[in-house]
Structure 1
Amino acid sequence: MPRMPPAKPARSASTRAQEFAAIDLGSNSFHMLVARREGDKLQVIDRLRDSVRLAAGLEADRRLSPLVTERALACLRRFGERLRGIPGSQVRAVGTNTMRKLKAGSDFVATAEAALGHPIEVIAGAEEARLVYGGVIHGRGRSQPQRLVVDIGGGSTELIIGRGETPKLLESVSLGCVVHTQRFFGDGRITPIRFKRARLAAGVELEFLQQPYRDAGWDLAIGSSGTIRGIWRVMRENGWIDDEITRDGMEHLIALALRRRSIADIDFPALREDRRPVFIGGLAVLAGVFDALQIDRMETSDRALREGLLYDLLGRLSNRDIRNDSVQTMAQRYGVDVAHARDVERTALRIFEQLETPWKLDRVMAIPFLRWAATLHEVGLAITHNGYHKHGEYIVRHSDLQGFSQTDKHMLAALVRLHRGKFTPAPTAGLPGDWIVPVQKLAVILRLAYLLHRSRKPGLRPPLQADATRKALQLRFNRDGWLDRHPLTRADLEREVHYLAALPMTLRLV
């Protein structure tokens, strides 16, 4: 395990408050990037990296081996020490392919969060691809050629075609340097026939995207990640290329690697020592990518997921949250009644303002999810009215919502499911333990807003005052006779008294 860099002088609390951190928990390496904002730019002030090889520890039961678990937690504790003093809203950590594969109910993520001291988002492959693309193309000038970006990680390979800041095609394929090395060179021996099989297998995995990617085309191919950069360094050291990876250069490198005959013999000076055990698998994957997409030349970038994560975090903090765009796109796609959704959102936020303090709700987390859930609460009507909240939950949970982690989608889907009908615990099962009660309380707020607008009268503003304790909620209507003039609302609220008893929560109407 590499030695950590020397400790830096202590920074003041005010200095730490200006820092932002992105943590990429990859299948091969864990990376942390710390930057300070200076005007419209970011200055990187610290980088930490550890070769954890998470994918190598994934056992048949989809749990991590004790050895790899401890190696990962030790790394996260070191990262956590560096993060002390940085506001939690300015730290974002994500897990990728191997963490996606962990068995449901595995306690690794919760243990890892405790070691790091911050939440960890497990992101879907398409979201990983989007963040990689954002990291690679950021700051590349005003010219907007169509770009193909390829990132080979430990457990997956991301391939993206886009123009400017907009990705058009996003794919994440289960091909990685760690997994491919284990599969074809598990005993350490390197032979021409094994390499040929590994290269062909990579091409087979990519077969489904060959045609759409070739049809889309690109002006420039860019490779990111340590795997591709390592291959590029060895080629350049041997004088086979200048600045770009070429097909001829790759064939020369393959011939050189095959002469080594063993992973233990891979000792190229330009290749970092911790990259050597997984180099041959990564080389086979890149060769398969070149074959499948008929690539002749590829630039390389030292930016990748962690930079994209950092820029995405800054966007969220600057009201440029791509999740807003994703929700609006879904609402448009499924024909949501936008005016009605806004009425529900307005009332939900008004109730939230009254219950935020007694219920100890975190407005930074709660308000965006309450807004998004209000926007999408009727998305299931596109299928059928009968049980549409259940259809809505399914749509949200299984859609590609850019910017949302798997936990984010689970939370949003739970709110959509719980906005009406019986209040069951199933939708929140599997959420992090400390999120369940807040999500249930947000669901109660959304339910009330939904009921108050069930008449669908445009612009309705119910004169509601809400007071609460931990397990009791009192609703008061400030105009005499308002409930009497809205008998449907009264009947719905009286029924809600029985539904909320399942929490358990006592609801009183005054």
Structure 2
Amino acid sequence: MAQATPQNNIFAVIDLGSNSFHMMIAKYMAGGVHTIGRVKRKVRLAAGLDENNVLSLEAMERGWECLALFAERLQDIPKENIRIVATATMRLAINADVFIKKAELILDHQVNVISGEEEACTIYKGVAHTSACQGRQLVIDIGGASTEVVIGKGFDALLYKSLNMGCVTFLERYFQNGELSESNFNNATNAAKAIIAPIQSDFKKLGWELAIGASGTVQAIQEIQAAQGQTEVLTLENLKAIQSAAVQFDSIGALDLPGLSEERRLVFVSGLAILIALFESLEIQTMGLAGGALREGVLYSMIPDFQDNDIRKRTLDGLMQRYHVDKQQAERVAELANSLASQVQSQWCFDIDQVKAILNASACLHEIGLIIDYKLYHKHSAYILKNSGMPGFSKAEKQLITAIVDAHRIDLSISQFEQYSGYALLVERLVRIMRLAVVLSMRRQNDVLPEISLKTDQNDNLTLCMDSAWLIAHPLMQTELEQEGKYQRKLQTSLKIERQ
């Protein structure tokens, strides 16, 4: 076989965490970064630290064994495209040099022990590049031996701190031998509050609009809430309810909560205790889950093209390039959809900036399924979006865009929107606008439409006003609009074409 040559667009990041070791392999293509491989091993390095911060040989050997697996995958990646970072346990261990020396021999690459502050800033960068950045954000990442707390805006970390507490160290300290009780849970929470206290005032004073969790603990709680039919949003009330359910079990080994994975069970209660302390100390009202953290922050730092601050545009451009979307048509549909939305904004009480962003994204992506087949391309488009990462868009925004794309043509039914519960009406209204924009853009040419206006009444009925002579000269468009009216009647609303 011919000798393989390194691929310059492949990147690798290894995170030697205190609980797990992670390796992420990504490929830069079509204007975006796409994960092509992940390997994760529970090493629990922090569990090997004794009271004098000496790391045990047993813990080191678990780590070296894991790195031997990682090394096989690294050999095909250019060295300049590899970054290896070590975090809290390597900062704490007084014999860290012993572990690092052998680790570098195994990996044939330098291991960088990053400071707590650098870890916090890098975590924030990973969140900023993969999540919806809107206003000031509080980002929290509960690791194995440290917890990073950051307030940032855009791509800039404004206030950041690394706290000496983590789900592995707190497990060893407050849940010895796996014992689980109200008392040891409260001891862990109070200890976390004492560590948070020195930073409490500064963080509350600066404030934030959105709180995001970037750790496995937050994801585990979301999965528990989903198993109970609850929303993805974390609240203190929900955390307390999960705590109450957890302490009914005598031991962590017996812990069996619906939705809690076996992989996360061991360090779940210690992470939950820390998170409750953060919610109470910083008075966090709600929290969502970030799309990325430390590894993503390291990865995006390696690629110069990803210093572009408009993450949403970068995401949309990448998807359009990958699926060969007609950009001019996307722009026509977006322009029309935004114009129609603006005309009914006062009656429908839209947050017009948010609506325009959603309609713009939907217009950019509604035809990506054409690369598969025309007949059901809207379904193909929705499937692709549902199963694709969309950095810059929150989970709720992605769901909204996918719903609009899925329903932008052909048949309609009320049942399509029932799953969106609290924002079903918004989805339905944006779908109706998007469908009109798509029909009116059917000629795929600029400057072919007459002046158009859209009105609505208190029953959500729409009236589209168009020039009568133009409609007579364009019978196909007239027929398509009449058919659209029939589709929209299935939503128990109407679309009337008013000729002027």
Query: How would you bin the TM-score normalised by the shorter chain?
Result: 0.5 to 0.7
Of 36-45 and 87-96, the range deviating more from structure 2: 36-45
Deviation at 1:40, TM superposition (A): 2.9
Task: Return the match for 2:167 from 177, 199, 205.
Answer: 177
CA–CA distance in structure 2, aligned partners of residues 263 and 11 of structure 1 = 52
Indicate if the aligned counterparts of 1:22 and 1:91 stay in contact, CA closer than 8 A.
yes
- Partner of residue 23, structure 2: 32
- Partner of residue 56, structure 2: 65
Task: Return the match for 1:261 from 247, 250, 269.
Answer: 250
How many equivalent pairs are there?
309
Are 1:94 and 2:85 an aligned pair? yes
- Partner of residue 284, structure 1: 273
Where in structure 2 are the equivalents of 1:177-326 lying within 5 Å?
177-239=167-229, 241-315=230-304
**Identical-residue share of aligned pairs (%):** 39
CA–CA distance in structure 1, aligned partners of residues 96 and 158 of structure 2 = 34
1:147/1:183 Cα in 2 relative to 1: closer, same or farther (>3 Å)?
Answer: same
Deviation at 1:214, TM superposition (A): 0.6
Indicate if the aligned counterparts of 1:147 and 1:220 stay in contact, CA closer than 8 A.
yes
1:23/1:246 Cα in 2 relative to 1: closer, same or farther (>3 Å)?
Answer: same
Indicate if the aligned counterparts of 2:121 and 2:160 stay in contact, CA closer than 8 A.
yes
TM-score, length basis structure 2: 0.59
Give deviations 1:448-505, integer Å, cap 9, x for gaps.
xxxxxxxxxxxxxxxxxxxxxxxxxxxxxxxxxxxxxxxxxxxxxxxxxxxxxxxxxx
- Partner of residue 423, structure 1: none
Where in structure 2 are the equivalents of 1:331-370 lying within 5 Å?
none
Residue 107 of structure 1 aligns to a residue in which SS?
A: helix
CA–CA distance in structure 2, aligned partners of residues 11 and 231 of structure 1 = 49
Indicate if the aligned counterparts of 1:92 and 1:309 stay in contact, CA closer than 8 A.
yes
Residue 76 of structure 2 aligns to a residue in which SS?
A: coil
Deviation at 1:137, TM superposition (A): 1.5
Deviation at 1:117, TM superposition (A): 2.1
Deviation at 1:39, TM superposition (A): 4.0
Give deviations 1:111-144, integer Å, cap 9, x for gaps.
1111222110000000000111011121445x63
CA–CA distance in structure 2, aligned partners of residues 255 and 317 of structure 1 = 44
Task: Return the match for 2:14 from 23, 31, 52.
Answer: 23
Are 1:81 and 2:72 an aligned pair? yes
- Partner of residue 401, structure 1: none
CA–CA distance in structure 2, aligned partners of residues 11 and 200 of structure 1 = 61
Of 66-75 and 105-114, the range deviating more from structure 2: 105-114
CA–CA distance in structure 2, aligned partners of residues 158 and 103 of structure 1 = 22
1:15/1:113 Cα in 2 relative to 1: closer, same or farther (>3 Å)?
Answer: closer
Are 1:151 and 2:141 an aligned pair? yes
Indicate if the aligned counterparts of 2:131 and 2:292 stay in contact, CA closer than 8 A.
no
CA–CA distance in structure 2, aligned partners of residues 285 and 292 of structure 1 = 10
Deviation at 1:319, TM superposition (A): 13
Indicate if the aligned counterparts of 2:130 and 2:290 stay in contact, CA closer than 8 A.
no
Deviation at 1:61, TM superposition (A): 4.2
Residue 94 of structure 2 aligns to a residue in which SS?
A: coil
Deviation at 1:231, TM superposition (A): 2.1
Indicate if the aligned counterparts of 2:131 and 2:291 stay in contact, CA closer than 8 A.
no
1:291/1:21 Cα in 2 relative to 1: closer, same or farther (>3 Å)?
Answer: same
CA–CA distance in structure 2, aligned partners of residues 276 and 119 of structure 1 = 33
CA–CA distance in structure 2, aligned partners of residues 198 and 162 of structure 1 = 28
Deviation at 1:63, TM superposition (A): 2.9
Deviation at 1:46, TM superposition (A): 0.4
Indicate if the aligned counterparts of 1:31 and 1:49 stay in contact, CA closer than 8 A.
yes
Of 121-130 and 261-270, the range deviating more from structure 2: 261-270
Give deviations 1:142-186, integer Å, cap 9, x for gaps.
x63110000000001000001100110010001100011111111
1:292/1:318 Cα in 2 relative to 1: closer, same or farther (>3 Å)?
Answer: closer
CA–CA distance in structure 2, aligned partners of residues 212 and 275 of structure 1 = 32
Give deviations 1:380-415, integer Å, cap 9, x for gaps.
xxxxxxxxxxxxxxxxxxxxxxxxxxxxxxxxxxxx
The gaps in structure 2 that reach 5 residues or longer are 310-500
CA–CA distance in structure 2, aligned partners of residues 35 and 235 of structure 1 = 31
Indicate if the aligned counterparts of 1:235 and 1:250 stay in contact, CA closer than 8 A.
no
Which amino acid in structure 2 is aligned with residue 56 of structure 1? A
Where in structure 2 are the equivalents of 1:68-147 lying within 5 Å?
68-103=59-94, 106-140=97-131, 144-147=134-137
Task: Return the match for 1:46 from 2, 24, 37.
Answer: 37
- Partner of residue 55, structure 1: 46
CA–CA distance in structure 1, aligned partners of residues 188 and 148 of structure 2 = 18
Residue 267 of structure 1 aligns to a residue in which SS?
A: coil
Indicate if the aligned counterparts of 1:63 and 1:106 stay in contact, CA closer than 8 A.
no
Deviation at 1:108, TM superposition (A): 0.9
Residue 257 of structure 2 aligns to a residue in which SS?
A: coil
CA–CA distance in structure 2, aligned partners of residues 319 and 296 of structure 1 = 31
Deviation at 1:264, TM superposition (A): 0.7
CA–CA distance in structure 1, aligned partners of residues 64 and 247 of structure 2 = 36
- Partner of residue 152, structure 2: 162
1:140/1:105 Cα in 2 relative to 1: closer, same or farther (>3 Å)?
Answer: closer
Deviation at 1:14, TM superposition (A): 4.2
1:134/1:274 Cα in 2 relative to 1: closer, same or farther (>3 Å)?
Answer: same
TM-score, length basis structure 1: 0.58
- Partner of residue 405, structure 1: none
CA–CA distance in structure 2, aligned partners of residues 16 and 267 of structure 1 = 45
Which amino acid in structure 2 is aligned with residue 13 of structure 1? A
